[in-house]
Amino acid sequence: MKSKYAINLHKGLTSGVILALMILYQNFSLGPWVYLALHGTYGYLWLLKDRLYPDKQWEQEISIFGGIFIFGILSLYWIAPFILISSRTIPSLPLVAIAISLNILGIFLHFVSDAQKYYTLKYKEGLITEGLFERCRNTNYLGEILTYSSFALLAQHWLPFLILGSFISMIFIPNMLKKDQSLSRYPEFADYKRRSGLLFPLLFVSKTTNSQKSLSASASSHSDDGSTTRV
């Protein structure tokens, strides 16, 4: 089986799990409904994304036990709605507003950057250094972190943040570093790495590359030679 089957199953079941928790604990207050809207919609958007522009890394074949393991690990994300709904914690309206904003921004960065990567590489192999990847080399991971941060924020508990931190340190960052190592085969990667952040965008770094500097220096040298000749 492909690894994406376990991932997609988890994403597709998320809204049902949240709704079941709401029924089980008879909690239909603002927090659970907002959480259901955000996390449930995210799951369905993930399925749509996989249909329109699938990620190649989730196409790899794994064993059934591997699929069960992936599903189990991802199910840790369901702890946030469990805490929110079972504790009957009521998030404040400003907190809800912040969570919704983080969620929208996160989904935009995640899905749009994945689309840019998919369709760029579909027609042209090479290093992607423009658009959402101009200042950040892992905009999709940044978006995913913001999205899950919004879920953890609604739960108002330290455990969902600890789980997200574990995913970041044990999965996201190693994948980012592995990606950097792979991209280092391109000659222009050194310049790109200098002016882009691994996870957070570098906004105040010059876009001038070493090759551009070399051309500028060469042009200046020729100019100086020309002026000397004229004198």
pLDDT in tens, 60-93: 999 999 999 999 999 999 999 999 999 999 999 9
Alpha-helical segments (H) within 75-209: 79-87, 93-123, 139-155, 158-167, 173-183, 189-194
* Helix/strand/coil for 61: strand
One-letter amino acid at 80 equals A
* Helix/strand/coil for 136: strand
Q: Taking Cα atoms as reference points, which of 109, 134, 141 lies closest to residue 191? A: 134
The token pair that represents 127 in the structure block = 């290093």
CB 77 within 8 A of CB 148: yes
Model confidence, pTM: 0.87
Residue 206's pLDDT is what?
77
For residues 167 and 157, what is the distance between their CA atoms, to the nearest angstrom? 17
For residues 203 and 195, what is the distance between their CA atoms, to the nearest angstrom? 8
CB 100 within 8 A of CB 150: yes
222 has pLDDT over 80: no
What confidence category does residue 105 fall into, taking pLDDT thresholds of 50, 70 and 90? very high
One-letter amino acid at 138 equals N
The token pair that represents 1 in the structure block = 């089986």
Instruction: Output the CA–CA distances (angstroms, integers) from residue 200 to 29, 109, 117, 125, in the order listed.
Output: 35, 12, 18, 24
What confidence category does residue 228 fall into, taking pLDDT thresholds of 50, 70 and 90? very low
Residue with tokens 């190693």: 174
- Summarised one tens digit per residue, pLDDT across range 157-189 is 999 999 999 999 999 999 999 999 999 999 999
For residues 144 and 47, what is the distance between their CA atoms, to the nearest angstrom? 15
The token pair that represents 154 in the structure block = 């609604």
CB 123 within 8 A of CB 96: no
Instruction: Output the CA–CA distances (angstroms, integers) from residue 219 to 73, 101, 210, 229, in the order listed.
Output: 57, 48, 14, 15
CATH of domain 3-204: 1.20.120
Q: Taking Cα atoms as reference points, which of 37, 71, 35 lies closest to residue 152? A: 35
- Summarised one tens digit per residue, pLDDT across range 111-163 is 999 999 999 999 999 999 999 999 999 999 999 999 999 999 999 999 999 99
For residues 164 and 115, what is the distance between their CA atoms, to the nearest angstrom? 24
